[in-house]
Amino acid sequence: MAFAYSTLETAVASAAGISPVHQRGPFRARLQHLTRLGLPDIRSGRGKKIEYSREHAIQWLIATMLMDMGLDPSVIVTGIKQHWRSFAGAIADATSFEARSRFPYFLCVQPRLLQAGWTRPPTTRPLAMEIVQFRVSPGPLGLQPELIPYVEGAAKTGLIILNFTSPLTQLDNALLPRRS
């Protein structure tokens, strides 16, 4: 399904928790900056109307979530482009009934900003990104085994873990056609 820019902007702003007042100024400027950096990767001819997709909205949503964590937009755009193909399956599952009701999916990001240029050979991925489902049941038993690799990684380079199911569900709800 194709969407107009204004529809995508409103949906992404809603999913990111941005009020309509702020959507008109600072948020719109962020999306325009992402577009200048090549996210989404759309080429249109002069005077030709651009049609956006849900995929484009999700890319903007991930980017705004990470900008909110203080990461540089150019690094975010590079990271999303490098990892995008690996996200497909998790994005499809992230709004399932199971994900919405019990075990949500999370966007896990390990920044490697300084290491990216200084390692030999240079790391071409300044962000390690993954969308994963943690099947963790709350309880007094402590750390669940599936979280251990993420916690160990966080001890070395830092880790950002963001609920992805909730904002993606909000985005999808905002993109639903309105019935009159």
Query: Where do the domains of the chain lie?
Result: 5-175
Average pLDDT in the chain:
85
Stretch 120-136: mean pLDDT: 76
Stretch 57-70: mean pLDDT: 96
Instruction: Quote the pLDDT of residue 94.
Output: 96
pLDDT surpasses 70 at 117: no
Winning range, highest mean pLDDT, from 42-46, 102-106, 109-113, 170-174: 170-174
Partners of 105 in the beta sheet? 133
Instruction: Quote the pLDDT of residue 92.
Output: 95
Yes or no: say if 131 and 90 are a contact pair by the CB < 8 Å rule.
Answer: yes
pLDDT grade, residue 155 (50/70/90)? low
Q: Is 103 strand, coil or helix?
A: coil
Report the sign of the C-alpha dihedral through residues 80, 81, 82, 88, in that order.
positive
Task: Output DSSP code: residue 16.
Answer: T
Partners of 131 in the beta sheet? 107
pLDDT surpasses 80 at 143: no
Task: Give the Cα separation of 64 and 16 in Å (integer).
Answer: 7
The predicted model scores a pTM of 0.86
